[in-house]
Chain A
Amino acid sequence: MIGFAETEHIELNFRQRWASYLTIIVAVLALAGGYALRVNSLNATQRFENKQIGLAARYPVNWLLEEGKTDFVFRVQDPAAVPFKTTLQMALLPFGPDALLAEIPNYLNITRATSLSTYIALQINSVTLPNGTQGLQMEYAYAASETNPALQSVPIVVRGLDVIVLRNSQALVITYRADVQSFDRNRHYFDSFLRSLEF
């Protein structure tokens, strides 16, 4: 005959009980800390500053920085983004003192149409930057094609957003580009960038 031993209920003492509670708390805190660390890490930014032209801003860490090219003064791209590399860019375009802010989108459209495939301007609105500067905001789209002739890819539909402000006899064009699926999801990078912008 098989007998069942009566289970003896052992009461945890105070120390043991608090040890268990503490373990759970530490585990939860560790998870929360890890999450916070991850969020921090993903949203961490670093400062870019060009004193010569008087521009400064913060951009996401681990984005690839490129400076001083002929068509932009600053550009960062997310190298891990797939398929299109999400881009933040600043360009300074010289304009005469008589130039109107409204003329600059037209100039951008004309020049981009010659270099970007199926380029189309979507909408142009007024915008106020976080520092109070008045400007224009232009949305556009184009198809980014593979430039390396040895590779073959379906063109990517890219959506772009320019914020244009006049600064002395220059137009500052701040650009955000992402593939059309990621555009809204990654928009916060651009918003943070604009908030940190000093010029």
Chain B
Amino acid sequence: MRRIMRRGMVLVLIIILVTPTLPIAAAPPYQEGFNVAKALRATVSVTQVFTNSRGQVVISCVGSGTLVSVDGLILTNAHIALPSPNCRSDKLVISLTVRTDEAPVAKYYAQTVGSNLGWDLAVLRVTSTLDGKPVDRATLNLPFAEIGDSEATQLDDTINVVGYAISGDKASNISQLIRATVAGVTAEALVGDRAWLKTSAAIPGSMSGGGAYNVDGKLIGIPTVEPTVGTGDTLNCRRVQDSNGDNRVDDKDICIPISGLINALRPSRLARGLILAAGLGITPSIRPPTQPEPDLTDPPTFSRLFFSAGVNQAGMPSSVVTGVPSGTKRLYLFFDYDNMKNGTVYELRTTLDGVPNVTFSLAPATWSGGRRGLWYIGSTAQIWPNGTYDFSLYIEGVRTANKQITIGGPARQDPIFTDVLFGVVPSDSDQLVNTGNLIPIDSPNGEIHAEFIYNNVPPNTSWRQVWYYEGLKLSENTDTWKDPVNGKKPILAQANPLKPGRYRLELYLGDQMAATSDFIVAGKQSNLPLPEKNLIFKDLSFVSEVKNNAPVGAKATAFTSPIQGLYASFNWQALGEGTPWTWRWTVDNNPLFEVTQSWNDAADGAAEWLGFASQSQVVDGSYKLELLVSGVVMSSAIAKVGLGQLPPTTFGVAQGVQVQGRITDAENGRGISGVTFIVIKVDFDTHDFVWDMSQVYDLSFSDADGQYTVSKLLALEKDKAYSIIVLARGYLPVTTDGLQVTEKTKSPLILNIALSRD
């Protein structure tokens, strides 16, 4: 056989290492570690569709996404994945980038396997081909992007944003790459100072859900903007299909929302937990609320807008400022919200001296703060230019409130109150013990202790303290300043009985609010050290099963595999309805789920549960649950499953070089279909090959155009080489040994081959 092969062989092997063709002429093929073709191929188009009463499939929404695993996990925006009044859907269609210079090709259906509405992130899983055949995830071998460290991204860093752009030029529906720099970092309540990365470039809204890559080619952000459809003349959508089957396309047909320009990215850090949970095949669950959500009949409002130069751990303002000096880097806009519903779209538009300023604005985003509370948006990464700023807040595209502030001039020595702290004063001491923004309900005599720092306050200045409980005034006290000019002042309020719930303190200098903070009264004091001194959650334990909405089975901290779910059960005391609380799951110290929600149960009770269920079995690992109130961990516990450690392959990233190219007829240059391209394992060469699949590393067959792609990445094998056989009936076979993969080999490796006729 070998002799026949050798004798018949006239090698016309043209192996040309070429860089992939780029759709964007301006972009160089590679910049340091960034591989344009790889990023473009990992980009998918996500289409929401539904079947109407006539059995016709109707497209309702489109967006972009990024493949983040070889077996078909896709990261995108939640508003692209989840059905909504503007995006009716019963199926998600995934279109892949088959050719980087062509429109995407619909290939699969997908399901949403994890989402966070507030972060506007979702993870999808490819489930079946378009003809309904289930996909074998083990053999998918899809191109994918690796998640990078978004926290390491700095101001002015170069980023590459990739997604599908549908613009005025309809022919441009190909995956696009837009070069940009990080122009700012936006803070937002519930997420923190790095809630958004701002970009210098205006990115088409249809690229929302795509990917933003650093120069190393790692995914560090997800371009995100909520579409605001609008009404009447401001309608912002496209009618493309006769969705009601009346043979014309008019205003009775589905209108696909168009998002405005994007200049904000959700950091990929927020997506890590969702992706890990999707990879482990687990979905969170919690006991359904015993009390129905109240109907929101009144319109949503934003009110009491003010500015602060800092935020504490509980998300409360450190001060209230009416103007800030030149060189200010940290500035936050705070505001009260009421009657808000999670999923509502809100927006902040900022102008500087009357000119719109995108860096300090927040593009339409999804609301996740619950019905009412105190919210903030800010910027901390760069110096705010001097000028007069106007901050206007919008709800569903309608301007709701605004506030102005002037930045500039030297630091002023105005009287200020800052850093309000709450706590308890033990019976054997007169010092306040800080308990964060949390007071136990059994504080002696119903006393609420607080203290704040004051500076530059002249004697006899009129000042006032006002206390509120659930929005109602509890007490008010006006006085003249008798303390020194600078120092720390304790204050006290009393409520008998002290009820659990949300409280607020406002401090005024004259008529101007100088400081404010919300705090929570919940739980009871215990003999434990802080923070467990205040006991809200008790008897946190784990079980592996929930039946009839109740945890069942033996409580344990270690479980033997296999188990189908892991659930935590706990009791609670003195937790008022509507109080925000957070539950957070991690596995082996990697984030899984973090949800902040309002307490919707009685003030005291037992056997609350939350947990997660697995599609097959819970993967081995150490699962930790933390329960937080006011940003403080009030209770936590760890449950070990199986070996108590995630399998080493969990975070494994496929390494290696992808081989692809085109096989053509040497005479006419046309692609040859159905050619077999065999890669032989490094332990053999073409002389040792006996046509046994056990010797084959992987093989591919060329498509109608002669294109082929070897699915399995060629692993780096030191001092060893792969061999290749290419054969098709009617052509002389091509064999070659010595294909080495080194650390310098670029992926994909393009091997174009011309075959001579037999």
Pairwise interchain contact B1-A61, C-beta atoms closer than 8 A: yes
Other-chain contact of B729, A41, A63, A81, A114 (Cβ < 8 Å):
A81
A148 interfacial by beta-carbon distance below 8 Å = yes
Pairwise interchain contact B700-A83, C-beta atoms closer than 8 A: no
Pairwise interchain contact B98-A114, C-beta atoms closer than 8 A: no
Number of B residues, CB within 8 Å of A: 43
CA distance A63 to B696 in the complex (A): 13
Looking at the assembled complex, report how far the CB atom of A34 sits from the nearest CB atom of chain B, in whole angstroms: 12
Known: A115-B133, A148-B709. A65 touches B98 (CB 8 A): no
Other-chain contact of B98, A61, A147, A150 (Cβ < 8 Å):
A150
Would you list which residues of chain A between 101 and 157 have a CB under 8 Å from chain B?
Answer: 114-115, 117, 146-154
Residues of A within 8 A of B700 (CB): 148
Pairwise interchain contact B691-A149, C-beta atoms closer than 8 A: no
B13 interfacial by beta-carbon distance below 8 Å = no
Pairwise interchain contact B4-A80, C-beta atoms closer than 8 A: no
Looking at the assembled complex, report how far the CB atom of B713 sits from the nearest CB atom of chain A, in whole angstroms: 13
Pairwise interchain contact B703-A146, C-beta atoms closer than 8 A: yes
Residues of B within 8 A of A62 (CB): 1, 691
Residues of B within 8 A of A30 (CB): none
Pairwise interchain contact A82-B703, C-beta atoms closer than 8 A: no
CA distance A146 to B133 in the complex (A): 13
Taking CB as reference atom, which chain A residue is nearest B133?
Answer: A115
CA distance A115 to B136 in the complex (A): 11
Pairwise interchain contact B133-A117, C-beta atoms closer than 8 A: yes
Other-chain contact of B676, A66, A80, A147, A152 (Cβ < 8 Å):
A80
Residues of A within 8 A of B692 (CB): 64-66
Looking at the assembled complex, report how far the CB atom of B752 sits from the nearest CB atom of chain A, in whole angstroms: 15
Pairwise interchain contact B729-A151, C-beta atoms closer than 8 A: no
CA distance A115 to B132 in the complex (A): 9
B494 interfacial by beta-carbon distance below 8 Å = no
A79 interfacial by beta-carbon distance below 8 Å = yes
Pairwise interchain contact B1-A152, C-beta atoms closer than 8 A: no
Pairwise interchain contact B727-A117, C-beta atoms closer than 8 A: no
A58 interfacial by beta-carbon distance below 8 Å = no
A84 interfacial by beta-carbon distance below 8 Å = yes
**Could you tell me the dominant secondary structure of chain A's interface residues?**
loop
Would you list which residues of chain B between 385 and 414 have a CB under 8 Å from chain A?
Answer: none
Pairwise interchain contact B678-A149, C-beta atoms closer than 8 A: no
Would you list which residues of chain A between 9 and 47 have a CB under 8 Å from chain B?
Answer: 41
A85 interfacial by beta-carbon distance below 8 Å = yes
Pairwise interchain contact A150-B696, C-beta atoms closer than 8 A: no
Other-chain contact of B708, A65, A83, A114, A151 (Cβ < 8 Å):
A151
Would you list which residues of chain B between 136 and 150 have a CB under 8 Å from chain A?
Answer: 139-143
Residues of B within 8 A of A147 (CB): 139
Pairwise interchain contact B696-A64, C-beta atoms closer than 8 A: yes
- Which among A61, A147, A150 has the greatest number of chain B C-beta atoms within 10 A? A150
Looking at the assembled complex, report how far the CB atom of B128 sits from the nearest CB atom of chain A, in whole angstroms: 11
CA distance A75 to B705 in the complex (A): 28
Residues of A within 8 A of B286 (CB): none
CA distance A175 to B687 in the complex (A): 31
Pairwise interchain contact B693-A64, C-beta atoms closer than 8 A: yes
B704 interfacial by beta-carbon distance below 8 Å = yes
B105 interfacial by beta-carbon distance below 8 Å = yes
Pairwise interchain contact B704-A82, C-beta atoms closer than 8 A: no
Would you list which residues of chain A between 37 and 95 have a CB under 8 Å from chain B?
Answer: 41, 61-67, 79-85
- Which among B105, B675, B703, B730 has the greatest number of chain A C-beta atoms within 10 A? B703
CA distance A117 to B131 in the complex (A): 8
CA distance A49 to B728 in the complex (A): 28
Residues of B within 8 A of A66 (CB): 692-693
Residues of B within 8 A of A152 (CB): 98, 105, 703-705, 707
Known: A62-B691, A65-B692, A81-B729. A149 touches B142 (CB 8 A): yes
Would you list which residues of chain B between 705 and 758 have a CB under 8 Å from chain A?
Answer: 705, 707-709, 711, 727-730, 733
Would you list which residues of chain A between 137 and 185 have a CB under 8 Å from chain B?
Answer: 146-154
Residues of B within 8 A of A114 (CB): 133
CA distance A151 to B691 in the complex (A): 25
CA distance A83 to B673 in the complex (A): 6
CA distance A150 to B659 in the complex (A): 12
Looking at the assembled complex, report how far the CB atom of B542 sits from the nearest CB atom of chain A, in whole angstroms: 37
Known: A41-B4, A150-B709. A85 touches B703 (CB 8 A): no
Known: A82-B673, A82-B675, A85-B676. A151 touches B707 (CB 8 A): yes
CA distance A62 to B727 in the complex (A): 11
A-side interface residues toward B, CB under 8 Å? 41, 61-67, 79-85, 114-115, 117, 146-154
The list of the 4 closest CB pairs from A to B, nearest first, reads A83-B674, A151-B703, A66-B693, A82-B674
Q: List 11 A-B contacts (CB under 8 A).
A: A63-B691, A79-B691, A80-B729, A115-B133, A117-B131, A148-B703, A149-B140, A150-B143, A150-B709, A151-B98, A152-B703
Given contacts A66-B692, A82-B675, A151-B708, 14 further A-B contacts (CB under 8 A): A61-B691, A62-B1, A64-B678, A65-B692, A67-B693, A80-B733, A81-B729, A82-B729, A149-B142, A150-B96, A150-B98, A151-B702, A152-B707, A153-B704
